[in-house]
Amino acid sequence: MASLIGFYSLVFGICSSVAIIIFSIQNFRNPKKLNEKILILTFLQFFLVTISFLGLIISFVNSDFSNETVFNHSHTTKPLFYKISGSWGNHEGSLLLWLLVLTLFIFLFILKSGKQPTQYRILTLLFQEIIIIGFFIFLLKTSSPFNYIYPIPEEGLGLNPILQDPSLAIHPPILYFGYVGTSIIFSSSLSAMVVNYISKEWAKHIKVWVLISWIFLTLGILLGSIWAYYELGWGGFWFWDPVENVSLMPWFALTTLIHCILVLEKRLELTSWVIILSITTFTLSMSGTFLVRSGILNSVHTFANDPERGLFILIFLFTLIFLSLFVFFFFHKKETNNKSSFFLVSKETSIILNNWFMMYFLSVVLVGTTYPIFLDVISSDKISIGPPFYHKLIIPFLIPFLLAMTIGPRLKWIKSDLSDKFILIIFFIISLLLSLYIVKTLKIDFLINSILISFVFYLFFITLRDFFNKKYNNLSQNIAHFGFSLFLLSIIFNNILSSEVITNLKVGDTFKSEKLKIYFENITQKNEKNFESFVGEFVVENSQGDVFIMKPELRIYNQPNIATSEAYIRTSLFSDKFMTMNLVQNQEYFNVRYQIKPLMIWIWISVLMITLGGLMSIIKKNEN
């Protein structure tokens, strides 16, 4: 019954979308004020999709295996929390969640944009409805979450065990809020171009949506990174996996857009940058959806291969791109300001420089992600591009980017001179001497590391100083930039100071080295609701004489029958002690992997600080 209600809610939902388009076109011709029927229909559309989504959740909770999606991704022994999260932990359910957030955001947009011109609001709604109808058709035609199975199976196939994790359960909804938020930016930009509303007022209005999308996307990436760190057992936070890259690319574009919006809001400059980036962020979000759901990418995150779905998304994506290009070339009016609107040394110039660096980083990630796909199509050669490719291309350009990021906020609009040159020079010398000392002490590669560490410390010290300098009291910017400098420092020292031991042990064995001793004390077995657990107990002693217990775990799930390795992590402010174990096939030995990962917690904290900076910008705007 719940599945039936869910399906017909989708059918009535697409009918409401058609009605919204009809009333919107009528209202656009007589735009004195927004027709109240449009607001009611927009709410009805959101309500119907909500009912549909709740129908899917109820089907999962009740283990209704007459529903094909439930059968493929659930099991009666699965805990309730993962039954609920399983409703969006699959292709069909995730697209329904996309649609739910799309309808929620456009309803909130119409509700909160009352002070904006009526034609602009209506046209934004029309562009958004094109996207929404596309998702309705996609769900009903190729990806229905409510397909019926007969005869009804007694049991389901279960959810992939690595997805049965709290972080990954809440990671997709938060990430989708970031992705879907870019659709409002996209529709709003096209609308503003058509009605010639690209202005400071529009920049102030759309800035909130840009920040909301950016915050959710940042938090979504953070949760995915934390999940990969402890669940996949790799011991790292970022692996340049293609699906990780898919979420990172719109983040680069959104971050660049935030800085451009600041210029547009203050100076009515960089309108072309703003429009192009608004289109790009949504295009990258949709491209990520295409790449993940078409089965093209080879990743632990990807969904099953289905050419029909991939072809639909590809056609839909190209339709939206051509629509946006048509609107841009026929309706966008170039800036008519004087040629000398700002000087070489100014805040505007620093932001443009920042934009080009960010576009370069985005291009590197885009090439690294898509090149293996095109190579496979052209020559059938299969390759994978790993961290060395990204590190070699990104790190050299990261150095001048950090310098621009340090100096830029100290510049003034239009024309500037650095009034505190002496302080900046002093801090740079301190940063350089400190990095040289660290590089020499740790005996690492001299040139690139000493320069990189110098500029990261430079950004760190300057942003730290800004908290105490009333001249640069933009608190939201200070927190975000300081968080970014802390993020880079944590990554650098995490990479330099990490250590690892891999060995095979059986119960009673001891591993010894100059700095470490690991004793495999025992192993215990536990039976949980949907898996069997084997917990190892290891006594670890380091060179300082510190002794601690590590308890990594092996889980063997009943449905599907898959074994997973659960990391045991001891976290402190200075380092994580990370251990996993895996059974060596056909032997009584276990493969034990023990790592020390310095400053891991500061990577997570620094990303939260960056996000806090964006949140404070929204709060500051609302107060104004």
pLDDT digit string (tens) for 566-601?
Answer: 899 999 999 999 999 988 877 788 999 999 999 999
> What's this model's pTM, rounded to 2 decimal places?
0.92
Residue 339, pLDDT > 50, answer no
Tell me what the pLDDT averaged over the chain comes to: 87
Q: Is 361 exposed, middle or buried (0-12, 13-18, 19+ CB in 10 A)?
A: buried
Identify the band that residue 340 occupies on the pLDDT scale cut at 50, 70 and 90.
very low
Cβ contacts of 187 within 8 Å, gap of 6 or more: 106, 124, 125, 127, 128, 131
Cα(229)–Cα(495) distance, rounded to whole angstroms?
14
Cβ contacts of 606 within 8 Å, gap of 6 or more: 483, 484, 486, 487, 490
Q: What is the pLDDT averaged over residues 379-386?
A: 79
Which token pair is 66?
């007459």
Would you give the DSSP letter of residue 593? E
Q: What's the confidence (pLDDT) of residue 24?
A: 93
Helix or strand (DSSP H, E) at 610: helix 600-623
Q: What is the pLDDT averaged over residues 41-57?
A: 96
Cβ contacts of 338 within 8 Å, gap of 6 or more: none
Residue 624, pLDDT > 80, answer no
Cα(52)–Cα(98) distance, rounded to whole angstroms?
12
Q: What's the confidence (pLDDT) of residue 623?
A: 55
Helix axes 387-407, 446-466, angle to 10 degrees: 40
Q: What is the pLDDT averaged over residues 87-109?
A: 92
Place of tokens 């990520």: 288
pLDDT (tens digit per residue) in 488-535: 999 999 988 898 999 999 899 999 988 899 999 999 988 887 788 899
Distances from the Cα of 307 to the Cα of 142, 228, 374, 381, 600, angstroms: 10, 28, 16, 20, 40
Domain boundaries, the chain: 1-164, 166-418, 499-601
Residue 346, pLDDT > 70, answer yes
Among 503, 566, 498, 492, residue whose Cα is nearest residue 534: 566
End-to-end CA distance of the chain: 49
Q: What's the confidence (pLDDT) of residue 622?
A: 62
Neighbour count for residue 51 (Cβ, 10 Å): 17
Give the sign of the dihedral formed by CA 230, CA 234, CA 238, CA 242.
negative
**pLDDT over 90, % of the chain:** 49
Cα(65)–Cα(402) distance, rounded to whole angstroms?
54
Q: Phi then psi for 544, rounded to 5 degrees?
A: -85, 0
Cα(514)–Cα(158) distance, rounded to whole angstroms?
46
Among 158, 304, 160, residue whose Cα is nearest residue 231: 160
Helix axes 271-293, 91-112, angle to 10 degrees: 150
Would you give the DSSP letter of residue 31? T
Among 453, 429, 430, 427, residue whose Cα is nearest residue 440: 453
